[in-house]
Amino acid sequence: MKSQTRIYIAGFMVLITFGLTSYIPKTGPHLTAPLYTEIPLGTIRPTGWLRDQLETMRDGTTGHLDEVYWKLKNDNGWLGGKGDGWEETPYWLDGAVPLAYLLDDATLKAKVLKYINWTIDHQRRSGYFGPITKAERDSGAVITIATAQRGEDWWPKMVMLKVLQQYYTATNDARVIKFMTAYFHYELQALKVCPINKWSEWAESRGSENILVAQWLYQKTADKGLLALAGELDKQCFSWSKWFAGRDWAIRAAAHQDDSDWMHRHGVNVAMGIKAPALTYQRTGNPAYLAAMKTGFNDIMTLNGLPNGAFSADEDLHGNLPTQGTELCAIVEDMFSMEQAIAISGDTRYMDALERIAFNALPTQTTDDYNNKQYFQVANQVEIARGVFDFSLPFGREMNNVLGMRSGYTYCLANMHQGWTKFATHLWYKTQDNGLASLVYAPNTLKTTAGIGNTPVTINEITNYPFSDEIDFELSAQRSVQFDWQFRVPSWCAEATLSINGKEIQTGKGGQLITLNRIWKNGDKIVLKLPMRVSTSEWGRNSRAVERGPLVYALKLGERWEKGNDKAEGDYFSIYPTGNWNYGLSEQIVADPAKNLQITEKPFNGKFVWNQQHAPIEITAEGRLIPNWQLTDGVANQPVTDRDGGYRGTVSDTLSHFTLIPYGFTKVRIVAFPVVKK
């Protein structure tokens, strides 16, 4: 059978076969089917460095937050108590549930199941659910549609719905479908008397989370009331699609940092809202919504993008200078939005964006043991210390930047767990014809079915990617099976090669998806080669960052850790550099990175850890010290350059050589360098 190649143009999949081009219809009778469907939780088993990371999380706060954090530990509202009944317990479960099933960990499964069972078992007859409300506790109120005002905030329930959705994909527990159906019927009617913003703007700004699960359930039950609910929520919630398409929102967000409409600029809200147009496209079939998402995402990253793949969000959007901060919650929510945008749109830009933020921004913001987190990270972060810095939200206790379990707002302590776990669950997707799609890469084993007859297949993905440019796939099946298998070629890769059983089969350009339709046989070995070129990219105030593949490289600095304690926020760590940091990058490197940068790869040794001692790649660069580039109130303000991108102030007479390592392995660093003459 002849091979077919599918590529994506302007968000649409085009099938090229025998020289003919035709659009594949994707619209069902009521809901536009996503280009890709998610693999059920537990079908993917992370291996290699990714499993090491997940085991660290299990042994750290993800596996034990309910034991060490008083808000979850004491009289929890999601277990019937009077304690936390808002977002932090569902946030934790949103990462702990997938972790339990990714690792097939019986202890963690039993732990999270307590909360799931209580939530399902204590659903009210009307369909309402959640912790016992004050009105119920104080007066024995019964919450019905007529008395919906005696309920409490819509927002935490949205997170718990995502928890239950994941649990269902892992277990097929029929209680979940019944539970959600009853709740969504209740919600559709209750919104008439208790609109989405009755209790908080959080629900109004984050309604896409609610819409996502309602539309997912529709695909299971075909209950038209779910689409009516999604449409009503869209009307009542923030107009992300309209704002992204109209662009005035992006301009105003860049120009204003006052208290007016700050929820529209709140980084976590924006990170969640990025997927809102895709969800509306899914419901309407109108491609203008995919265009709105593309425009909005481009505006956000152009005006506020940082080298690590994140956008500034401290807490507001705050421009593109590398001295701005990014909240950990914004990073993990941005990742989840990218995972949903990938499924609905099939646009490779979101696949690239997911890898960039996961491999760079995410790992640097927690400690090796996953017990401490940094509320705001900074791209050019020369020290981690108490202070107000250049953030739009400076806390009075000045704890935004330090590494601590409870430093900054604690909802990031609860929410950070979904980053790696959901990334691991989205390494593979199913295509619409029951094929497989490898759209982001990391070591894992997939056990699923494929092809017309749902033939069981096992695929071992063996790789050290993103630290290696080769990805090996080993396929096992009891019998030969024909299905489409899609492979993404990242946009940074000039040309990929795909080999099967030692024979080169196909090449692909960056930003494309290669589809092989063939009869796959037991023992087939597939090798995807993604050559990584070293390059430089331009960031705020004409600074430059060094890149190779999906990784961004930062200055390797010695670290001096100091432990402190805040009466309100507990133990924390400050980190200070040992050695010079104020280097300018030689202009020869910008002109010809491949010629002027030396790359050294090291073997993986022992358990994988995101710290500089375990960094598997180093790049040697050269430049000159800039004496006048000094810290001001703990901030390494970016030196001014002229239009050609060069720093024209005084620099050292001595040419220096320094080491760069992948950004994710650093805590203190420079990643966006001024450019100086050699």
Q: Three-state SS for 666?
A: coil
Return d(Cα 263, Cα 276) in angstroms, integer.
Answer: 16
Return d(Cα 202, Cα 262) in angstroms, integer.
Answer: 12
Q: Decide if 278 contacts 295 (C-beta within 8 A).
A: no
User: Which pTM was predicted?
Assistant: 0.95
The answer on 195 and 61 residing in a single domain is: yes
Within a domain: 369: no
Q: Which of 360, 326, 321 is CA-nearest to residue 548?
A: 360
Residue 227 confidence (pLDDT)? 97
Q: Tell me: the pLDDT tens digits for 59-79?
A: 999 999 999 999 999 999 999
Classify burial at 594, counting beta carbons within 10 Å of its beta carbon; exposed 0-12, middle 13-18, buried 19 or more.
exposed
Residue 55 confidence (pLDDT)? 98
CA neighbours within 13 Å on the CB side: how many for 24? 19
CA distances from 202 to 205, 263, 273, 344 (A): 5, 8, 12, 25
Q: Checking phi first, is residue 142 left (phi over 0); if not, alpha (psi -120 to 50) or beta?
A: beta
Write the DSSP symbol of residue 238: -
Q: Decide if 350 contacts 335 (C-beta within 8 A).
A: no
Q: Tell me: the pLDDT tens digits for 286-343?
A: 999 999 999 999 999 999 999 999 999 999 999 999 999 999 999 999 999 999 999 9
Within a domain: 130: yes
Q: Which of 258, 39, 53, 269 is CA-nearest to residue 166?
A: 39
Residue 572 confidence (pLDDT)? 98
Q: Of 181, 213, 237, which marks where a domain is finished?
A: 237
* Residue partners of 311: CB distance under 8 A and separation at least 6: 267, 270, 300, 301, 304, 305, 317, 326, 330, 334
The answer on 115 and 226 residing in a single domain is: yes
Return d(Cα 523, Cα 532) in angstroms, integer.
Answer: 28
Residue 431 confidence (pLDDT)? 97
Q: Three-state SS for 201?
A: helix
Residue 394 confidence (pLDDT)? 82
Q: What is the mean pLDDT of residues 520-531?
A: 98
Return d(Cα 671, Cα 663) in angstroms, integer.
Answer: 7
The answer on 587 and 517 residing in a single domain is: no
CA neighbours within 13 Å on the CB side: how many for 479? 4
Within a domain: 78: yes
Residue 645 confidence (pLDDT)? 87
Within a domain: 344: no
The answer on 618 and 520 residing in a single domain is: no
The answer on 102 and 44 residing in a single domain is: yes
Within a domain: 370: no
Q: Decide if 671 contacts 378 (C-beta within 8 A).
A: no
Return d(Cα 170, Cα 164) in angstroms, integer.
Answer: 10
Sequence letter at residue 279: L
Containing structural domain, residue 504: 427-463+470-529
Which residue is it, tokens 């927690």? 366
Return d(Cα 669, Cα 612) in angstroms, integer.
Answer: 11
Report whether pLDDT(282) > 70: yes
Q: Which helix (H) or strand (E) holds 120?
A: helix 106-121
The answer on 230 and 87 residing in a single domain is: yes
Q: Three-state SS for 524?
A: coil
The answer on 574 and 599 residing in a single domain is: yes
pLDDT confidence band for 11 (50 / 70 / 90): very low
CATH number at residue 484: 2.60.40.1180
Q: Of 215, 237, 259, which marks where a domain is finished?
A: 237
Q: Which of 44, 40, 115, 124 is CA-nearest to residue 81?
A: 115
Average pLDDT, the chain: 94
Residue 70 confidence (pLDDT)? 96
Sequence letter at residue 433: D
Residue 24 confidence (pLDDT)? 33
Q: Taken in order 94, 98, 101, 106, is the CA torsion positive or negative?
A: negative
Q: Decide if 438 contacts 381 (C-beta within 8 A).
A: no
Q: How many domains does the chain have?
A: 3
Q: Decide if 137 contacts 120 (C-beta within 8 A).
A: no
* Residue partners of 19: CB distance under 8 A and separation at least 6: none
Within a domain: 64: yes
The answer on 611 and 544 residing in a single domain is: yes
The answer on 170 and 69 residing in a single domain is: yes
Q: Which of 6, 5, 9 is CA-nearest to residue 287?
A: 9
Residue 8 confidence (pLDDT)? 36
Q: Decide if 585 contacts 673 (C-beta within 8 A).
A: yes
- In 10 A of CB 558, how many CB atoms? 11
Within a domain: 573: yes
- In 10 A of CB 26, how many CB atoms? 16
Q: Of 175, 202, 237, which marks where a domain is finished?
A: 237
* Residue partners of 342: CB distance under 8 A and separation at least 6: 36, 350, 351, 354, 426, 429, 439
Classify burial at 260, counting beta carbons within 10 Å of its beta carbon; exposed 0-12, middle 13-18, buried 19 or more.
exposed
Return d(Cα 360, Cα 339) in angstroms, integer.
Answer: 17
Largest CA distance in the chain: 79
Report whether pLDDT(657) > 70: yes
Q: Tell me: the pLDDT tens digits for 343-375?
A: 999 999 999 999 999 999 999 999 999 999 999
Q: Tell me: the pLDDT tens digits for 576-614?
A: 999 999 999 999 999 999 999 999 999 988 999 999 999
Q: Three-state SS for 57?
A: helix
Return d(Cα 193, Cα 25) in angstroms, integer.
Answer: 39
The answer on 514 and 496 residing in a single domain is: yes
Return d(Cα 25, Cα 20) in angstroms, integer.
Answer: 16
Q: Which helix (H) or strand (E) holds 399?
A: none
- Outline where 191-223 has alpha helix (H): 201-205, 208-221
Say how many Å lie between the first and final Cα of the chain, rounded: 57
CA distances from 261 to 257, 311, 394, 409, 429 (A): 9, 19, 18, 21, 37
Within a domain: 663: yes
The answer on 560 and 500 residing in a single domain is: no
Task: Take residue 81 and report the two structure tokens written for it.
Answer: 């108590």
The answer on 56 and 132 residing in a single domain is: yes
Q: Decide if 118 contacts 80 (C-beta within 8 A).
A: yes
CA neighbours within 13 Å on the CB side: how many for 502? 1
Return d(Cα 7, Cα 21) in angstroms, integer.
Answer: 11
Residue 256 confidence (pLDDT)? 84
